[in-house]
Structure 1
């Protein structure tokens, strides 16, 4: 448990990672009733810089609301707990995981008014999720992305990620790094835990939200940065065949940041060119470390914000 630092925050209290236990009769274990976020803090000369912290926590609240779960803490309280957690653990950079789950008591599928809503936050150092220098190889998965007519795909609900496990597992077993899912209508949706973008000339296209796509915060960020760099951004339905003839493909996500896809289904994409992906990654890392004055409001610096 050393990788998680000395402290975690759970239900308003500071606990050691070895004490982060819960009952096997927890509702979330039996029915998947959990909600989470993935957030990153980056090392800067001004202290750890948390990227778009408030937007992530506000989405956590929305994810819970889809399932009629009310958090017992405000966004302000969760912000403060997150900053103090990083400071207590002494991390200069880390991955942050706020998590909400339904506990006990439970007797059936639906929780009762007495079922406790737990909120926890942990953090740990995180290296590269993908090899961004080389780029990654992907395959179009046989499993489809769950339709938003079945479950709210704008919620980062733990249950949604069983679908992602199937996608990723198939890709890894078949010798690829990542999976690309199609929606129920055969349109390109997203990767297992990342959004997808296709480049053609000066146009960058990404699946529209009605393709079972999570409106990722990194997705929103890269779209804005790309527009500022002079690219046209188009959100629409994308056919599978368009993947193979793109100039470039890249993925975006908190862990993935901006990662180039150089091959799909054994077909080389644009000869392995990563020009736009590299440009977007450079701009993104400038943004997350507070180097873009026009976007300093995206950053929460831990040392300047933690209460004494």
Structure 2
């Protein structure tokens, strides 16, 4: 669906939810077209101003504050930290809208490589031919991390949550595929994503998966910052089933640039313990850069609906 088609759909009768979805899609699609045309200082000012407004200059964002409290403690969740976290999230979107243009910069790979910690671990894993699983939380600019990997390795496969309306989902897929990502839909694809990911790994390829949000509500019970939640089983299960090398990646903003790290290979023995090791590495990395963790949604069982709690049917542990 194009911008013109979305505008036409908005003029027709429809439910409030449908209109809201189309307005959201329109905003994102316009963003990709307009934001990259603005001078960078102007765009940065606009996004910072929007972040300050959204966060009440740091005094609002109750769920973000609750999430950060798990990381740094209640007394350390200052208005400045909340404002910085909201600005970090806004910077992610600013760069996402501009990334198709940024990625063409011939000097970008050198800048990203200079900020990379753990290249030896990454290169050794790729050379092994066993397949590589990279899992990371929603921090910094994970699309920029993917851009580095495309330039460094030639590509990778990932999974995308299916969004509504379809135009918005297609826009995200087209955006990431334009950067060289191979994107599989989480639901509604031609084949189950797990089977396709296994095939990639068995061929010695690289799979990247976001790892701290249990979108399918079938994850593994996990202690995260001392409190119970669940995390996706996919990265650990793929490592168990394929023998691929499993690593935790972290992305953060380092001044005007970007920081990236790749962990040593994660020990893989059984599902619960392996997922817990991933969670522990996520926690250590997030604690080092709390303002760059973009978690505005409820994550822990104590914040979620009872149906998502530890006794919900079908939950692994």
Please indicate, yes or no, whether the TM-score normalized by the shorter chain is above 0.5: no
- Give TM-score scaled by structure 2 length: 0.28
- Give TM-score scaled by structure 1 length: 0.29
Query: Greater helix share, 1 or 2?
Result: 2
